[in-house]
Chain A
Amino acid sequence: GAGVSQSPRYKVTKRGQDVALRCDPISGHVSLYWYRQALGQGPEFLTYFNYEAQQDKSGLPNDRFSAERPEGSISTLTIQRTEQRDSAMYRCASSFRNRANTGELFFGEGSRLTVL
């Protein structure tokens, strides 16, 4: 497709379960970002990939959160042992620019996670 694709769009899980959220960026985009957005707030940075390399994971809340982009394209954000406070919209974005300068980000529709 032409845009950033995220799946699943909605995920409801029970506390303690693991979840994996997938992001398929725009073809050819070098940079990939994961953000988390709470209701009524702006997106908060989680992690950044330049090609397959995870350049910055400073925004990941704790070690239950991890992300990978093994072939420099599709990325997976994994949350282990989910807690209710993990409930949020998780947004993926991609950009054709490398780390030299930040350009326009193209966002996906997001994955809404609800932890019961």
Chain B
Amino acid sequence: SQQGEEDPQALSIQEGENATMNCSYKTSINNLQWYRQNSGRGLVHLILIRSNEREKHSGRLRVTLDTSKKSSSLLITASRAADTASYFCATDESGGSNYKLTFGKGTLLTVNP
């Protein structure tokens, strides 16, 4: 089963614009991660935010986490055509199988040049 649900399922923007993707999950977590997947390739880790953190930055990426709403957002600023990919959030349950990441269905981002 998949715990996370990304929203929107697909997003198309122009180069230079910002892209925001959201993720909702169901259980208490230790941390939440975002991964990127280029078409036909493996998943690449982008950023990890712990359950006691509210916001984290990495380059053009900004992640927020609201544990009370069980939701997270990924913001990509000043997007580039190379950012075109699917983006997945992944969570690990606190108190349970905390070695296991559960992925959402992903958001397909298209950045048009």
Contact = CB atoms under 8 A, between A and B. Distances in A.
Interface string B30-58: 11010100000111110010000000000
Q: How large is the interface on B (under 10, 10 to 19, 20 to 34, 35 or more residues)?
A: 20 to 34
Interface stretch (B13-21, B60-68, B70-78, B92-100): B92-100
B106 A105 contact: no
A91 B35 CA distance: 14
A42 B104 contact: yes
A103 interface: yes
A45 interface: yes
A101 B48 CA distance: 12
Nearest to B89: A42
B27 interface: no
Contact of A91 (B33, B42, B48, B105): B42
A96 to B, nearest CB: 12
Interface of B: 1-2, 4, 30-31, 33, 35, 41-45, 48, 88, 90, 92, 97-106
In the A-B complex, the 9 residue pairs with the closest CB atoms: A42-B103, A107-B42, A102-B92, A99-B99, A104-B45, A107-B43, A109-B42, A43-B103, A42-B88
